[in-house]
Homo-oligomer: A and B are copies of this chain.
Amino acid sequence: MSPSLDPGQSPPSVAFLLSRLGYDASGEMGKALAGLGLELRQFGLLRLLASAQGGSQRALGAMLNITPNRMVALVDGLEAKGLIERRPHPEDRRAYTIGLTEAGAAAFGQAMQAAFGVEAAMCEPLEPEERAQLLGLLQKLAAARNARAGAVPGVHPGMLERDDQPSEH
Residues of A within 8 A of B (CB): 1-10, 12-31, 40-41, 43-44, 47-48, 50-52, 63, 111-112, 115-116, 118-119, 122-126, 130-131, 133-135, 137-142, 144-146, 153-162, 164-169
Contacts and interface: CB of A to CB of B under 8 A. Distances in A.
B22 A18 contact: yes
Nearest to A166: B26
Given A12-B139, A21-B138, A160-B168, A154 B2 contact: yes
B6 A51 contact: yes
A37 to B, nearest CB: 15
Contacts of A4: 47, 51, 154
B156 A16 contact: yes
A52 to B, nearest CB: 5
B165 A26 contact: yes
A154 B119 contact: no
Given A1-B29, A23-B26, 10 more contacts: A3-B112, A8-B153, A9-B146, A10-B139, A17-B135, A18-B25, A19-B156, A23-B162, A125-B144, A167-B169
A142 B111 contact: no
A6 B142 contact: no
Nearest to A144: B125
Contacts of A167: 167-169
B134 A7 contact: no
Contacts of A144: 124-125
B156 A20 contact: yes
Contact of A162 (B8, B17, B27, B112): B27
